[in-house]
Amino acid sequence: IRKLFVGGIDPNESKDLILEYFGTFGKISEFNWPKLTRDDGTEVNRRYLFVIFQDPEPLEEIAKSQYHIIGDSKVEVKIAEPREPSKFAQQPSHSGGYWPSPGGGPTWGQAPPPQWSGMGGPVPPQTQWADPNQQAWQQQQQQQWSNYWA
């Protein structure tokens, strides 16, 4: 791992100052400062960034101190860990051919029933997606929604 997380950075801080500071620890191969797009379309730097070094050795030295001062910002640094896959990414989606459905509903390519339109009645919760392996969940949802729609 050669990636360092830097949190709490002033979004207006100079990129050159940040690179100069971390460059004293070792050769930087990549710098990633994510942007935030505001409602008016303007982009601003987020309050965190990532610094990737060519070698992993500088990370140990930097991480000895949890906080560093860069310009006017007291920043927190951590060795970046790979993210675990999201639980939502592991769930089946309708792109696999199934609509979210309390009772089996239409399959991919068919129109959803009118009560799902948002204009013709309630929309079932979409916290889970119907899947042939989720029969118990389907039955529970069918019971719940059939009472509601009756």
Amino acid identity of 124? P
Report pLDDT for 141.
64
Does residue 43 surpass a pLDDT of 70?
A: yes
HSE of 5, CA atoms in CB hemisphere, 13 A: 11
In angstroms, the CA 76 to CA 48 distance is: 9
Task: Say yes or no to pLDDT of 132 above 60.
Answer: no
User: Do the beta carbons of residue 6 and residue 75 sit within 8 Å?
Assistant: yes
Closest Cα to residue 33, out of 131, 17, 142, 105? 17
pLDDT at 72: 86
User: What's the chain's average pLDDT?
Assistant: 74
Tens of pLDDT, residues 59-71: 989 999 999 999 9
* Residues of the chain above pLDDT 70, percent: 57
Residue 101 above 50 pLDDT? no
Q: Report residue 82's pLDDT band, with 50, 70 and 90 as the boundaries.
A: confident
**Token reading at 148:** 């509601």
Overall pTM surpassing 0.75 (yes/no): no
